């Protein structure tokens, strides 16, 4: 596989921060589950990334990793469609990170917004470390090692994908220039056969002389179809379309995940750090209890007090879980004091219980048989490694380390 197929590849990672909650299900996992049908997906646990901030509490990591993969599987992430693996089991990520670190300007990392933001936010941790500064570069290596075309991430991660693009561009610029590039590219064109060669040359001309972007895309599609040229030649021809060097690393795009509307029990965003979550494996009676005791519009002290759904976090849950008819019933009953808050919460409780029940049943099966989970991860790691090895070998060669 070469940069040419990368349009079809999706990669995303999650730090193993513990059990997942409803916010993850509606924000991230449902998105992954859709993507896995359309793309060649790689999803992984970013355990090294967790160590950049939690280097002083490593012992809990391992448990979190297994729990998290169980949650993915129980929600419907399908190991038949997506490769699931663990970052630290694919050491090629680390080698690429190291090699990229040689050519990445320090200022690029210092200017990534999350660097200062997180240092301010996590004041209790000492994040003045080499590893933490390198966080986004490690992420760039995660992405580039698979030549992923798309990276589903939340808004807070878009800057990291942007950095990844810049690093790829710089890498290709520095190391994609081989002696005799032009001649090699011309020879590669001829290897495609007469018809494809003529088409490629015309499209390249249309793009380079008239800036015709459609021609560029057509030419890229043409290259993707070519069966009988080597990976190296393909990279040359991709690079030759746009400039003067090989495209060894592919520039990815972020697929912005819509921020989940899932509110926590207090109406703020659902997040472990606010202690306002319903975890995917929350005992169901506990779900009922948590929602029953969750605050509502403070104006509704007595049943006869009218309320305003816009001031109530339960209403936000209705927006995820209830149909229009139920929502009309809520608005009317709240504004006219026709229903009590407990009554209003009932459909939400029922919907969440109905959503979690099958997930928990699945999770229980996996919990009983962690060997199955481990073998899924081992398979995913093997597949990831096969792909990562190809890229790292080309990177080594491009950087003059390939001969041994």
Instruction: Please give the residue ranges that form the binding site for ligand TRP (CB under 6 A).
Output: 11-15, 46, 49, 139, 142-143, 151, 153, 157
Angle between helices 324-335 and 313-321 (to 10 degrees): 160
What's the CA gap between 75 and 77, in Å, rounded?
A: 6
Pick between residue 314 and residue 388 the one whose CB is nearest to ligand SF4. 314
296 binds, among ligand TRP, ligand SF4, none (CB under 5 to 8 A by kind): ligand SF4
Q: How far is the CB of 319 from ligand SF4 (least distance, A)?
A: 11
Query: How far apart are the C-alpha atoms of 51 and 297, rounded to whole Å?
Result: 41
Q: Could you tell me the smallest distance in angstroms from the CB atom of residue 24 to ligand TRP?
A: 11
* Closest of 163, 160, 138 to residue 51, by C-alpha: 138
277, 264 Cβ separation under 8 angstroms: yes
Q: How far is the CB of 353 from ligand SF4 (least distance, A)?
A: 17
User: Which of ligand TRP, ligand SF4, none binds 344 (CB below 5-8 Å, type-dependent)?
Assistant: ligand SF4
Work out what residue 287 binds among ligand TRP, ligand SF4, none; the CB cut-off runs from 5 to 8 Å by kind. none
The listed partner (ligand TRP, ligand SF4, none) that binds 334, CB under 5 to 8 Å by sort, is: ligand SF4
The residue (of 100 and 330) whose beta carbon lies closer to ligand SF4 is 330
Residue 151 contact partner, candidates ligand SF4, ligand TRP, none, CB within 5 to 8 A by sort of partner: ligand TRP
DSSP helix, strand, coil percent of the chain (3-state; round to 5): 65, 5, 30
Which two structure tokens, joined as six digits, stand for 256? 């912005």
Interacting residue ranges for ligand SF4, rule: CB under 6 A = 296-297, 300, 307, 309, 312, 314-315, 330, 334, 339, 341, 344-345
Give residues with Cβ within 8 angstroms of 185, minimum separation 6: 236, 237, 239, 240
Between 134 and 267, CB nearer to ligand TRP: 134
Three-state SS annotation for 358-377: HHHHHHHHHHHCHHHHHHHH
CB under 5 to 8 A by kind: which of ligand SF4, ligand TRP, none does 49 bind?
ligand TRP
Q: Closest approach of Cβ 345 to ligand SF4, in Å?
A: 6
Task: Return the sign of the alpha-carbon dihedral for residues 89, 93, 95, 97.
Answer: negative
Distance set, CA 132 to CA 14, 53, 116, 174, 341 (Å): 16, 7, 11, 26, 46
The distance of closest approach from Cβ of residue 341 to ligand SF4 in the complex, given in angstroms and rounded to an integer, is 3
DSSP-derived 3-state class of residue 299: coil
- Least distance to ligand SF4 from the beta carbon of 22, Å? 18
The closest residue (CB) to ligand TRP is: 13
C-beta closer to ligand TRP: residue 14 or 334: 14
Residue 152 DSSP symbol: E
Cα–Cα distance measured from residue 204 to residue 213, given in angstroms and rounded to the nearest whole number:
10
Which one of ligand TRP, ligand SF4, none is in contact with 341 (Cβ closer than 5 to 8 A by kind)?
ligand SF4
Q: Pick between residue 13 and residue 313 the one whose CB is nearest to ligand TRP.
A: 13
> Of the two residues 250 and 341, which places its CB atom closer to ligand SF4 in the complex?
341
Residue 330 interacts, among ligand SF4, ligand TRP, none and using kind-specific CB cut-offs from 5 to 8 Å, with ligand SF4
Strand-pairing partners, residue 269, are 263
Choose the one of ligand SF4, ligand TRP, none that binds residue 395, judging by a C-beta under 5 to 8 angstroms depending on kind.
none
Using only C-alpha atoms, the chain has a radius of gyration, in whole angstroms, of: 25
Residue 13 CB, nearest approach to ligand TRP (Å): 3
Q: Could you tell me the smallest distance in angstroms from the CB atom of residue 143 to ligand TRP?
A: 5
Q: Shortest distance, CB of residue 54 to ligand TRP, whole angstroms? A: 12
Q: List the single partner that 385 binds among ligand SF4, ligand TRP, none, CB under 5 to 8 Å by kind.
A: none
How many CA atoms within 13 Å lie on the side-chain side of 356? 21
Which residue lies nearer to ligand TRP by CB, 98 or 306? 98
Sign of the CA dihedral running 182, 183, 186, 191: negative
8 Å CB contact between 157 and 28: no
Q: What is the C-alpha separation between 195 and 192, in angstroms, rounded? A: 8
Q: How far is the CB of 275 from ligand SF4 (least distance, A)?
A: 21
């Amino acid at each position: 596989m070469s940069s040419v197929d990368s349009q079809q590849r999706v990669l995303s990672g999650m730090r193993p921060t513990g059990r997942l909650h409803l916010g993850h299900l509606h924000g991230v996992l449902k998105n992954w589950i859709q993507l896995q049908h359309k793309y060649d997906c790689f999803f992984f646990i970013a355990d090294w990334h967790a160590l950049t901030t939690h280097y002083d509490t490593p012992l809990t990591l391992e448990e979190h990793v297994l729990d998290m993969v169980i949650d993915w599987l129980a929600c419907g992430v399908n190991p038949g469609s997506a490769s699931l693996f663990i970052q630290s089991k694919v050491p090629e990520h680390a080698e690429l990170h190291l090699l990229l670190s040689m050519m990445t300007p320090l200022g690029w990392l210092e200017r990534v917004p999350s660097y200062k933001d997180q240092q301010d936010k996590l004041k209790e941790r000492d994040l003045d470390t080499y590893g933490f500064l390198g966080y986004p570069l490690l992420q760039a290596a995660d992405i580039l090692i698979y030549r992923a075309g798309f990276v589903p991430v939340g808004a807070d991660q878009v800057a990291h994908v942007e950095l990844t693009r810049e690093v790829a561009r710089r890498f290709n610029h520095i190391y994609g220039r081989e002696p005799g590039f032009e001649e090699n590219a011309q020879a590669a064109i001829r290897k495609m056969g007469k018809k494809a060669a003529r088409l490629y040359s015309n499209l390249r001309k249309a793009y380079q002389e008239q800036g015709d972007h459609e021609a560029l895309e057509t030419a890229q599609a043409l290259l993707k179809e070519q069966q009988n040229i080597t990976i190296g030649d393909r990279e040359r021809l991709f690079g030759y379309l746009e400039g003067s060097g090989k495209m060894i690393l592919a520039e990815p795009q972020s697929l912005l995940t819509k921020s989940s509307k899932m509110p926590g029990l207090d109406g703020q965003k659902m997040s472990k750090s606010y202690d306002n979550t319903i975890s995917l494996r929350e005992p169901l009676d506990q779900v009922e209890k948590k929602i029953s005791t969750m605050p509502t519009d403070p104006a509704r002290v007595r049943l006869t007090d009218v309320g305003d759904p816009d001031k109530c976090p339960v209403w936000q849950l209705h927006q995820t879980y209830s149909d229009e008819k139920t929502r009309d019933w809520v608005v009317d009953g709240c504004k006219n004091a026709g229903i009590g808050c407990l009554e209003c919460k009932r459909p939400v409780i029922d919907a969440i219980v109905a959503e979690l029940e099958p997930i928990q049943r699945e999770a229980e099966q996996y919990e009983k048989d962690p060997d199955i989970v481990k073998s899924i991860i081992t398979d995913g790691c093997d597949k990831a490694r096969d792909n990562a090895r190809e890229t790292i070998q080309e990177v080594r060669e491009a950087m003059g380390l390939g001969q041994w």
